[in-house]
Amino acid sequence: MTEMVYGAVPERGGEPILPKWWRTLDKWSMSCVLMLFVIGLLLGLAASPPLAARNGLEPFHYVTRQAVFGTAALMAMLVTSMMSPTLVRRLSVLGFLGAFVAMAFLPVFGTDFGKGAVRWYSLGFASVQPSEFLKPGFIVVSAWLMAASQEINGPPGRTWSFALCMAIVAMLVLQPDFGQACLILFGWGVMYFVAGAPMVLLVGMAGLVVLGGTLAYSNSEHFARRIDGFLSPDVDPTTQLGYATNAIREGGLFGVGVGEGQVKWSLPDAHTDFIVAVAAEEYGLVLVLIIIALYASIVVRSLFRLMRERDPFIRLAGTGLACIFGVQAMINMGVAVRLLPAKGMTLPFVSYGGSSLIAGGIAVGMLLAMTRSRPQGEFADLLRGRGR
């Protein structure tokens, strides 16, 4: 009965780390991540050669870099998934502090690479986007603060986590990066809801988000231009959204054929923000549905496993990590099919990008660490504890 309710597994004293990790790991979720990475390489082979030709590079320059960054991301995922939740929390605090400081100095030392938003540090041979590494660290730190606030005489963790959230959102808006700001707010809101936040507060926060969006529309030309383009009934066929929409329409159910797509020659971001348009044009709706199913499987399986978890920190951190992972994928695909305004957000493990791949590997490694099967105690002990 205990295992049926809580998914408990017996402790095996002195068991080596690797066998224990493999026995307790959510193998289906890890398999879905590996499949997404393989699909990303496959789509990179189709989408990146035109960009390499425009930049005077070898045809598979970007695919090779994606394979290197992806291998590093998978290694980071595996190593992180072997850690205990306590170690994940401690390292997340350090990582969060480093990323937070890096974000604060972006206006001084950062660059926009001609894209109108100062989000990166240029290292010459590569670039780093601190906000990608900040997300998983913030989720874990906020979960720790919220869990601590539930203890007797605990700190005001919810208030502190909200203050951190507002500080990060302010820095992201100044870049400007409204997409990541919304993702941070969403992740914090989900954890706050799971931690027992009153509905009145959440409704009030939603009102503040609407007010903030209205102010951003009135004062930011960058934000207003994207919203106007999204609301316009006509799509300019020479814009990125126009090219992506036409590619998805041309792909149909089974696609036009491998290597036969044309959108990759027109879209400058075909290998990053609009990679799903390449998938839809060359492989059709079938591959897009497979990609959606893989993301949904990771999120749903993780949430179901977390429902059995009794440790509030693990439950909150895992829920936040699973939700921002799924919502980021949803936002990227929603932009490509014009269900959402353009955000400049990558598709996790599929789009090209060093920072997004490695940070995504760390985040999913944290999620796998949180969802590993672990002893939850006897059900009778839980009932007796409640009865005291």
pLDDT digits (tens, 9 = 90+) for 277-334: 888 888 989 999 999 999 999 999 999 999 988 899 999 999 999 999 999 999 989 8
Give me the pLDDT at residue 201, please.
72
Q: What are phi and psi of 122, to 5 degrees?
A: -90, 125
The β-bridge partners of 128 are 121
Give me the pLDDT at residue 2, please.
39
Give me the pLDDT at residue 76, please.
95
Residue 183 makes CB contacts below 8 A (sequence gap 6+) with: 135, 324, 327, 328, 331, 345
User: Of the candidates 211, 223, 125, 214, which has an alpha carbon nearest to the alpha carbon of residue 172?
Assistant: 223
Give me the pLDDT at residue 233, please.
64
Amino acid present at 241 = L
Q: Count CA atoms closer than 13 A to 194's CA, side-chain side.
A: 27
Q: What is the pTM of this model?
A: 0.87
Give me the pLDDT at residue 266, please.
74
pLDDT digits (tens, 9 = 90+) for 159-215: 899 999 999 999 998 888 888 888 999 999 999 988 887 777 777 777 877 777 777
For the chain, the structural domain boundaries read: 2-378
